[in-house]
Amino acid sequence: MTVDLPTIRLRPKSKPQAIRHGFPWVFADEAVTDRRTRAIEPGGFAVLEDAERKPLGLVTVNPNSKIIARMMDQDPEASIDRAWIAARLVRALALRERLFDKPFYRLVHAEADGLPGTIIDRFGDAAVIQPNAAWAERLVGDLAQALRDVTGVSTVILNGQGRARGLEGLPERMEVLSGGVDVPIEVPMNGAIYLADVLGGQKTGLFYDQRPNHAFAQRLAQGARVLDVFSHVGGFGLAALAGGASHATCVDGSAAALELARGGARAMGAEDRLTTRQGDAFAQLETLAAEGAQFDVVICDPPAFAPSKPALEAGLRAYERVARLAAPLVAPGGYLGLCSCSHAADLTAFRNASARGIGRGGRRMQLLHSGQAGPDHPTLPQLAETGYLKALFFRLDG
């Protein structure tokens, strides 16, 4: 394959050791971007060379992105075709089938599963592909066919939405590539039943990453009054009900998401123990405080307030504000769970912002547990972005 491929070369001051040791990205300022490089079609392939022209591997190139090259295969002779994709999917599926007894999980977690910029979530006989890199957009037909061949799913949906695609210069689009599905889909997880709208919901329709953190929260929720803020389709609230909570209140800005939360509670036979409140989460936290509301367990799982380094300071202030407003709602001796899906805010920064907020909310705390995404979201140690999720659980006194 290399005979027909162009080359892309690292600048002399770039460090090829990082690439050799597993770092999968080359940024635009690290590569020689001459006329030939800029002529490579987004999503095309090239051989990556160091400054001495020694090959480092086969990469996909997007001259329009700050990440100009992503490592596809350390073998520069590799052919990126349907068979290559299928081999990666076989490896990813073997891990998930070892971990889970039902086919509801993240099947492909981008670079960590060897398919750069590509997310695939499985919902039984349906799967949703998020091709967030130009190569995956170009080869989405091969991705979909390999996915059907390897997993046996009949329905494949392309969800081309989100910030990541914009950074790659890709348009937003949604398309059913094969089969069909009645939405929402019932998804069993931690004893709860969630309703996933795979055609119109956020991301792929459900957040599988919080599965182990839902399970930990269940242990705190037995017989408890639970508040789930930024609840989406009832993530922590429904898990708490499945774990024996006396009542759960879900707060979210989306009426559609809250309707799915109520549907999940109905499917579980727990609708009488669920209350929903639609509105801005910060305003709802303030209103609940004004009402004198108290809960045994409060969990806040907001969107990414710090999606990039330039947004970090503002994002940390937002996380601190969430903690400050949530802390007074926790009954003495109760529990507060705070989450961040911002890869730009590392665990230490997020923990410090959360602790400041709790303190400014007038409460003393014990940190009980630090959680992360489940094992169907493996991390690539060399790439911090794959380990984005953080969940902190505190016990509050005073």
Please tell me the distance from the alpha carbon of residue 141 to that of residue 87, in angstroms, as a whole number: 16
3-state class (DSSP) for residue 167: helix
The active-site residue, picked from 250, 300, 339, 341, is 341
What Å distances lie between residue 355 and 145, 293, 365, CA to CA?
48, 22, 8
> What are the residues whose beta carbons fall under 8 Å from the beta carbon of 71, sequence distance 6 or more?
19, 24, 25, 48, 56, 57, 58, 59, 116
Angle CA 215–219–222, to nearest 5: 125
Percent helix, strand and coil across the chain, each rounded to 5? 35, 30, 35
3-state class (DSSP) for residue 62: coil
Residue with tokens 């996915």: 147
Nearest alpha carbon to residue 213 among 321, 306, 296, 299: 299
Please tell me the distance from the alpha carbon of residue 313 to that of residue 306, in angstroms, as a whole number: 8
> What are the residues whose beta carbons fall under 8 Å from the beta carbon of 101, sequence distance 6 or more?
none
Tokens of 13: 């001051």
Residue ranges of the alpha helices (H) in 69-185? 82-99, 134-138, 140-151, 163-167
Q: Is 332 exposed, middle or buried (0-12, 13-18, 19+ CB in 10 A)?
A: exposed
Please tell me the distance from the alpha carbon of residue 338 to that of residue 218, in angstroms, as a whole number: 15
Nearest alpha carbon to residue 217 among 279, 301, 285: 301
Please tell me the distance from the alpha carbon of residue 276 to that of residue 259, in angstroms, as a whole number: 9
State the amino acid at position 361 in one-letter form: G
Q: Among this protein's residues, is 300 annotated catalytic?
A: no
Strand partners, 57: 48
Positions marked catalytic: 341
